[in-house]
């Protein structure tokens, strides 16, 4: 199975400051169609996860544009340009290129 | 409005079986895959598997940890998906989420989850 490794595991950020989370896969995530199926999810406390980004950098409907995704191959990054209170929670990356799909272990973001 | 609601979670003894249901509304259920993901207490997310739409033969994919024990099925006439879990183990304890799967990582609408506790 592909292992997804996120760093850091926890992040404390001042409101209005940027944040960045890294996700590294144990194998390249380029599918046979040339696309890379790497998604990001946010799970707020007591809530189910919600989709933020798919295919590395595509924002899902309704997701604020302070979120952005980048990367290629095995290294991917989620960035928040200016952290807001509602961004608190655990962020997960997930690869959907190879079966079985696998999630990173999660990165907990809190407000400093 | 897209809605996904899981049901069927309960306390069950090790070795027993349990079937979870997932009711969906607000979209054309029959044209989407449906997926299951779980979360052990205080832990991260674990993808379990999904069932494709009838167009794609209602074929399924599973994580190795549940393949052969868990089965995903669907009833398009009732907009329901199911997760049949057999030979349950204590490590299967957790919240089970059902979600619409639009393909290629787009797990786009999640239910609130249902709690399964495997304990003697």
- Residue-wise pLDDT for A17-66, tens only, equals 999 999 999 999 999 999 999 999 999 999 999 999 999 999 999 999 99
Q: Specify the pLDDT at position A99.
A: 94
Residue of A nearest to B107 (CA): A51
Q: Specify the pLDDT at position B22.
A: 98
- Tell me the β-bridge partners of B96: B38, B114
- Tell me the β-bridge partners of A25: A4
Q: Which of B39, B96, B105, B111 best tests the A interface by mutation, with the highest count of A CBs <10 A? A: B105
Both tokens assigned to B60: 């399924």
Q: Specify the pLDDT at position B61.
A: 97
> Is the predicted pLDDT of residue B105 greater than 90, yes or no?
no
Q: List chain A residues with CB under 8 Å of B105.
A: 37-39, 54-55, 94-96, 101
Which of residues 44 through 83 in chain B touch A, CB cutoff 8 A?
Answer: 44-47, 49, 61-64
Q: Specify the pLDDT at position B118.
A: 98
Q: Specify the pLDDT at position A100.
A: 94
Query: Taking residues B46-58, what's their average pLDDT?
Result: 97
3-state SS assignment for residue A48: coil
Alpha-carbon distance of B8 to A79, in angstroms, equals 38
B81 with B98: CB under 8 angstroms?
Answer: yes
Q: Specify the pLDDT at position A16.
A: 97
> Is the predicted pLDDT of residue B76 greater than 90, yes or no?
yes
Which are the contacts of B42, defined by CB distance < 8 A and separation ≥ 6?
none
Query: Taking residues A83-101, what's their average pLDDT?
Result: 97
> Is the predicted pLDDT of residue B104 greater than 90, yes or no?
no
What is the phi/psi pair of residue A69, to 5°? -125, 150
């Amino acid at each position: 199975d592909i292992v997804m490794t996120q760093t850091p595991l926890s992040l404390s950020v001042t409101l209005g400051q940027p944040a960045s989370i890294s996700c590294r896969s144990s194998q390249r995530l380029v599918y046979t169609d040339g696309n890379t199926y790497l998604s990001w999810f946010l799970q707020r406390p007591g809530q189910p996860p919600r989709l933020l980004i798919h295919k590395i950098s595509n924002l899902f409907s309704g997701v604020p544009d302070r979120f952005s995704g980048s990367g290629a191959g095995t290294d991917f990054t989620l960035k928040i340009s200016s952290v807001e209170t509602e961004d608190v929670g655990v962020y997960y990356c997930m690869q959907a290129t190879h079966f079985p799909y696998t999630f990173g272990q999660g990165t907990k973001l809190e407000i400093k | 409005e897209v809605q996904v609601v899981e049901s069927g979670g309960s306390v069950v003894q090790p070795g027993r079986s349990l079937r979870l249901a997932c009711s969906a509304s607000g979209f054309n259920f029959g044209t989407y895959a449906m997926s299951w993901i779980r979360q052990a207490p205080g832990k991260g997310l674990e993808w379990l598997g999904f069932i494709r739409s009838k167009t794609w033969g209602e074929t399924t994919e599973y994580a190795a940890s549940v393949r052969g024990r868990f089965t995903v099925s669907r009833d398009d006439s009732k907009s329901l998906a199911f997760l049949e879990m057999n030979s349950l183990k204590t490590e299967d304890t957790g919240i089970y989420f059902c979600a619409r799967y639009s393909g290629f990582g787009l797990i786009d609408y999640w239910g609130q989850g249902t709690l399964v506790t495997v304990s003697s």
